[in-house]
Amino acid sequence: MTASALYVGEVRHRRLGPQANEFSHPLSFLYADLAELPTLLGGRFVKPTPGVVRVRRRDLLGGADGPPTAVAVRQLIEERSGRPAPTGAIRVLTTPRTLGTAFNPLTLYYCFDEDEQLDSVVGEVTSTPWLKRHAYVLRASGDERVIRGEHAKVLHVSPFQDMDHRHVWAVTPPGESLSVHIENHRDEADSKDFDATLKLERQELTPENLRAAVRRHPAGALRTLALIYGHAAALKLRGAPHFSPPADPETETPEATMPTKLTKLTPAQSAARRAILAILGRLTTGQLELIEPDGRRHLLGPGGEPKATAQLNAPEAWTVLLQGSRGMGQGYMDGLWDSPELTDVVRLAARNVQVIDAVRRKIQAVRVPYQHLRGLRRKVTHDQGREDIHAHYDLGNDLFELMLDDTMMYSSGSFSTPDASLRDASIQKLELVCDKLDLGPGDRVLEIGAGWGGFAIHAATTRGCHVTTTTISVEQHAYAVGKVKEAGVEDLVTILLEDYRDLTGTYDRVVSLEMIEAVGWQDFPTFFKQCSDRLARDGAMLLQAITMDDRAYEVEKASNSFIREQIFPNGCLPSQAVIAECLHKQTDLRMAHHEDLTGDYVHTLHHWRKNIAASTEKLEELGYDERFRRLWTFYLCYCEGGFAERRIGVGQSLLAKPGWRGRVPATQIVGLAELEAAAAVPEAPVR
């Protein structure tokens, strides 16, 4: 049953004192749950076309360009009361527009908690001749029969009363009847100069009752204005003193914190602004303080952690941000917006991804089949693969030397303690890999994705293995060859400049540390088949891979995300289900052990980000301009926030051939049953 209704009754105004005056008149109110308003009576109240009865955003708290009305109400409660706003229903008592005209001397917002207990009442008052607005907040205890409150008078409502008053409120919760009583008391004498009383009875909201209410008051707003101005004229004729409004009054109810001058927006920017504020107004957890270029501030979200702040620097930010993560990255790179803690913005977005991505996901759901077919036709050729790797890994070894530790490991470390150094975490990760594969002297190891030679040098110097490692990055290859020579292990390490798909030979172990993400989803099966084919029958592979949520995989692989456009062209994160499916269909490898390192990546990225921030001058000297530095700052924060909220994860998987008899690590297997269950496909025959 709908909570919305009609309330019909009478309002009475009384002026006390020397120029006493009193009048009353009947009127009707709409009591509407804001969540129900768009669909009430078939959407009659919110139709964009002119009509007999309408409710427009500009008539409600926050105005036409502000955040959604419910967000504006909750924001106001928090600003005025200093406490979290209730998260339940918000229902407005208002006089709708009739025949296109609106005038509401008083609009009430009844704010409930999740248990349907009345928490607060917001009363927005509109001044008669100046049409300024101000809202007051009353705290309710939930079970009281009358909500009471007092406020200093802030808004100059009538030219026949000065500002030296306080408002005394008495409001009943909405039920079968509803009443509102407001008194104006003069401060110095504590004398009552004015009161207004509203007494209403509830009616079911039906088309018939609405038509009857309109017939009774066909021009409700015009009639109210006519009565007010008529009685004002009578008071003037009787010599009532006249008071002008205070100079430069700051009395309007803010959409947010109001600037002195609003930024002029283009129609596209204005539409984008409304759309973004509407989306952010539906945040279900956390809070975002959004600051517009002209200084307006919006508190969006129910409160709690994570809390984030975003400062828009130019009107162009609105249209760019509509493009999702791609727009966020592009806008930040171009200086269109900033944040004192960028990772918090990403975490807040990740925590509310279902709300923020709702529109994009609907569009992508339609695009997925098309993108899938296009992707199948567009295999990553050898030349394309070299171009993609060149775009990222050949940015310059100097850049990566400033960001990474001296092991040059560009993959998650393993932190024994949160305050461990980045280098210690890298060494511990390398030891984990060697231990899990039980590497020893004489073992023939193939590494797919050499990086700058960190793993190959470590395995050769600490375990005595023979390591063949490959990359298609020219700069990585040159650097790694130099490091191998410097370490004195040329007899144990061979650095190839070859595509992994062209590798031949048989090895005891295969290692791949966060290389699969650059393969492209079309070649995931090829990657795993090649790894399996290169292994001896009693061999094993250690795969460290960044993965995404299985439920997001189909949509994400079809999207043109920030990472894919700006950082890793044609890259794609696999999901655990996709990995499991490839193993079952393309190989005789089976998961022997899996360890989650997601929390470690948060620490790793934080170190990388700090290193970049501390190297501004050196980066400038090397020719990396501010736009590039902002791009990489966003990239690192984007990933850090994604791992912190586990929108993406990283883990080490020990994949064993049928003849593998090595020891399984004693560490706890994390999620192994889920990983195996993810691939509901028949086992392939043993090769």
Q: Kindly list the catalytic residues.
A: 639
Output the CA–CA distances (angstroms, integers) from residue 484 to 469, 488, 490, 609, in the order listed: 11, 6, 6, 28
Write out the two tokens for 304. 């709690």
CB-based contacts of 435: which residues, under 8 Å, 6+ apart?
A: 665
Stated length of the chain: 687
Write out the two tokens for 244. 């002008």
Residue 190 to residue 394: CA distance in whole angstroms: 78
Beta partners for residue 93, in sequence order: 31, 108
Each residue of 161-170: b (16+ CB within 10 Å) or e? Answer: bbbebebbbe
Rg (CA), the chain: 33
Q: Determine which helix (DSSP H) or strand (DSSP E) holds 566, and give its type and residue range.
A: none
Contact 9/27 with Cβ under 8 angstroms?
Answer: yes
Residue 553 to residue 569: CA distance in whole angstroms: 17
Write out the two tokens for 128. 């008669």
Residue 229 to residue 385: CA distance in whole angstroms: 77
Output the CA–CA distances (angstroms, integers) from residue 96 to 218, 222, 619, 633, in the order listed: 11, 12, 60, 49
Which among 587, 448, 443, 427 is positioned nearest to 516, based on CA atoms?
448
Contact 170/198 with Cβ under 8 angstroms?
Answer: no
Beta partners for residue 546, in sequence order: 650
